[in-house]
Amino acid sequence: MNITTSNTINNNDNIQQSPNTLTTTPVSISTTPPIHSSNNKFYLDSDNNNSSTLDSSNILLNSVKKKDKSTSIENTDWGKEYDNEKKKLEELSNLIQISKRPSTNVVKVSQLDSSKLDDEILDLLRTQFMKVFMFFKPNFISNFQPEINLILKSLIFKLSIFNLGTTYGNQLQNLTYRNEAAFDPRGGSDKLIKLTQRQKWMSGIFNIGGEWLWTRIQRISINDAWSERPPDDIRKRLWNLLNLMESAYKILSILNFLTFLYDGKYVTLVNRLLRMRLVYAHPSLSRRISFEYMNRQLVWYGFTEFFLFIMPLINVDKIKGFLYRMFLKSTFGKSGSANGGAHSNNPNALPVQNKHQLAEIQHQLALQKCPICIMEPINIPYSTDCGHLFCYYCIKVNTLIDSSFACPRCNSLVSRIKRYTGVDE
């Protein structure tokens, strides 16, 4: 028989029998439902105010509802029928006891999130702790980094897994560890099977002690240059062994993670070995993080990424110059055209009659401010087609980023620049 449970039943669904229809003594039937329906309680109130509480699944609810209909039609045979139904209920409760309960599915992202949260809690603590050693030599701290990690992790471990049976990150995600080795998928109690002392100790030793030992050995081996020893040296052999172990651990971790993605049971290798499975601490609670907020966050993140990607591709100065010329064109008409040369009918162009006069005006300009950077005097002056002077850096950069750069003084197109050396040349 396939038993399916659902959360669609209202948890406060109370079925009240009218007092005069109940004649038999109330029978207490206690069955243990699958996890999700543990809160479905309804009461049968009899005339002598005794009540029997039924903890029941969907099927039991349906059978009681059926009975409710029949009693309203035929009151006299109620007792007999109740006995019949009671037998059915007992059969069903036995069936539930022996049948396999639906497997618990824990959202994978919650499990991954909780380990992230744990890392961040450790980081917070470590940052605060490190401030104590602010005035010590930096060498001193880095020498004892593995030991500091060991102490802080042990502290958190003692306060979380050892005392509470779960980590802080797990608690935030409504998760807790279950001793999967002692868990019976058939019927039985829904009571959370807590971790044994052995599991707690082993996970602490593997996760915290193991990590400390590994970093220590690695530091020693690197400082002592084990990898550069002759091949028959014991330290070189140890080095090879360590590398082999590291590779094996990494491969196993990847395999474990792939398995986790498939069955969603154990995030880490140690948890799988010790059979410490994350399950919901309160099955009736849903995920606490609002997806609306998360989606908004994701959209904003995506938008920022896109913007940062697109920004370097946009030539802001070119757009600015283009808009500037457009504005000038519309304001001053065709005379301010960007295509105008030095000797066009451009009113802003230099009023040049001969070469001598141009040199005279340029000499005056050279002492003035550069129109781009407004620095005085112009640094390494360069002359444009129109004869106006700019710093070399200013005009070079502007013509490089915008091929249709117009002279800020006369708005004529700058196609080439040349060094201005003074009146003599």
The radius of gyration of the chain from alpha carbons, rounded to an integer in Å, stands at 41
- The residue among 145, 110, 113, 112 whose CA lies nearest residue 129 is 145
How far apart are CB 346 and Zn ion at their closest, in Å?
8
Q: Is the peptide bond before 26 cis (omega within 30 degrees of 0)?
A: no
> Residues 177, 277: contact at Cβ < 8 Å?
yes
Q: How far is the CB of 391 from Zn ion (least distance, A)?
A: 3
CB burial class (10 A; 0-12, 13-18, 19+) of residue 17? middle
Contact residues: Zn ion, CB under 5 A: 370, 372-373, 386, 388, 391, 394, 407, 409-410
Calpha distance 267→253 (Å, rounded): 9
Check: CB of residue 346 under 8 Å from CB of residue 336: yes
For residue 386, the minimal CB distance to Zn ion (Å) is: 3
CB of 424 to Zn ion, least distance (A): 22
Distance, CA of 379 to CA of 118 (rounded, Å)? 58
Residue 1 has what DSSP assignment?
-
Using the minimum distance from each CB to Zn ion, give the nearer residue, 182 or 400: 400
Tokens (6 digits) for 234? 């014991």
Residue 361 Cβ, how far from Zn ion at the closest point, in Å?
A: 11
Nearer to Zn ion, 59 or 370 (CB): 370
Taking the least distance from each CB to Zn ion, the nearer of 95 and 342 is 342
Compare residues 84 and 415 and give the one whose CB is closer to Zn ion.
Answer: 415
Task: Say how far apart CA 51 and CA 28 lie, in whole Å.
Answer: 8
| Least gap, CB of 356 to Zn ion (angstroms) | 19
When the beta carbons of 34 and 381 are compared against Zn ion, the nearer one is 381
Q: Which is nearer to Zn ion, 155 or 367 (CB)?
A: 367
